[in-house]
Amino acid sequence: METVLRVGFVYAFILVLLRIMGKRELSQLSPLELVMLILIPELVAQALVREDFSMTNAVIAVTTLISLVFVTSMLVYRFRWFGALVEGKPSLLVEAGKPVPETMDRERIPADEIAAEMRRAGIERLEDVKWAILEPGGRISFIGYEPNDTRPPPDNDLF
Amino acid sequence: MSRDLPPALQVDGQPRRLKLHRFQWIALPFLFLVPVLALLGVFGETWSRTDDTSAELALRVEYATRYRYKQINTVETFVQNVSSRSLDTVVVAFDPEYVRRFSTLVFIPSPVEPFEIELLDVKPGEIRHVWAELQGERYGRHRGTVEAYRRGSQDTARVFLSTTIYP
């Protein structure tokens, strides 16, 4: 019984912490995040298994975790508000070739990181980006202009 | 607040319904059953108290009837002299077949013979405590006895133990 409660608590606790950390930390491992991801299992392992190294305890812990993950994913799919709560929403980083500083500040995405992601996506100039979206998983998606789209005049000084 | 996506990028307007694959309908109840049973205590420790009385001795044993591999539990034995005279030597004997199925055996007081503890000069009405610590080693159900008798007497108080060790 205690194992189920401990796994449930640690699962919810880490989920909340990862949401607090923000989206970017999920996709890129900076040294800080790497330290965090190495340390978290070390810290919680003892709390989860205690002195009980039996197969029974391992089976209970794993089935509890898988059940929690499955139920969470069902709730995320079924209820949009729950999905937004657990996974977050996509955020607009660039609109009509112009950066959205308020989103960049909030998500801690510097301009040079957007520029690096643009290069990786084969985009040369910011004016070519219609929308850049920070996805809930931490990836940045770029949507360019169609040939018949009207482009706004370039007027940013961020890049 | 972060800017929401423009309407052109919001494509998710369909109602969402939960559906499962056929194998999930079969497997998920089993998956959910394990934590539910664990919450109900099916895989947890259980304890029992059992007792017996002979003409001279009352024997009571409190022990774990179910625990898990490598967990340590105790068999607490209480022996009371219910006769009207002091007993020079009372023997508390653990069934070797039972005890050998565990590891890291600790007995207090220390045994004089393998798995036999002697209690000296037990006064009338006095209760003595024998403490045994056993670590779960072999899986399955283990059965055995604990006996208490006065040295040289055939009159024995005997209780039966049954302990299940989960893997």
Is B83 part of a structural domain of the chain? Answer: yes
The pLDDT of residue B158: 95
Domain presence at residue B61: yes
User: Has residue B59 been placed in a domain?
Assistant: yes
Does residue B124 fall inside a structural domain? yes
Token pair for residue A16? 């909340």
- What is the number of domains present in chain B? 1
- Look at residue B144 and tell me if it is in a domain: yes
Domain that holds residue B116: 46-166
Instruction: Put the strands of the sheet holding A129-134 in their side by side order.
Output: A98-99, A91-95, A129-134, A140-144
Q: Which residue has the higher pLDDT, A50 or A134?
A: A134
Domain membership flag for residue B86? yes
Domain assignment present for residue B112? The answer is yes
Contact A56 B167 (CB under 8 A): yes
| Portion of chain A with pLDDT greater than 70, in percent | 87
pLDDT reported for residue A139: 87
The Cα B122–Cα B139 span in angstroms is 37
Query: Is residue B145 domain-resident?
Result: yes
Domains and CATH numbers, chain A: 2-87 (no CATH), 91-144 (3.30.240.20)
What mean pLDDT is predicted for residues B145-154? Answer: 92
Shortest Cα–Cα distance, B146 to chain A (Å): 27
Please say whether the beta carbons of B56 and B83 come within 8 A: yes
Contact A1 B9 (CB under 8 A): no
Residue A72 contacts B, CB cutoff 8 Å: no
Residues A95, A38 contacting (CB under 8 angstroms): no
Residue B2: band (very low, low, confident or very high) from pLDDT cuts 50, 70, 90: low
ipTM of the shown complex: 0.76
- Give me the CATH number covering residue B76: 2.60.40.10
* Residue B62's pLDDT band (cuts 50, 70, 90): very high
Query: What's the pLDDT band for B123 if we cut at 50, 70, 90?
Result: very high
**pLDDT digits 0-9 by tens, A84-141:** 888 888 899 998 888 999 999 988 888 988 999 999 999 988 888 999 999 887 889 9
Q: Could you give the CA distance from residue B151 to residue B120 in angstroms, rounded to a whole number?
A: 10
For chains A and B, CB pairs below 8 A equal 87
Which chain A residues touch B38 with a CB distance below 8 Å? 1, 3-4, 60, 64
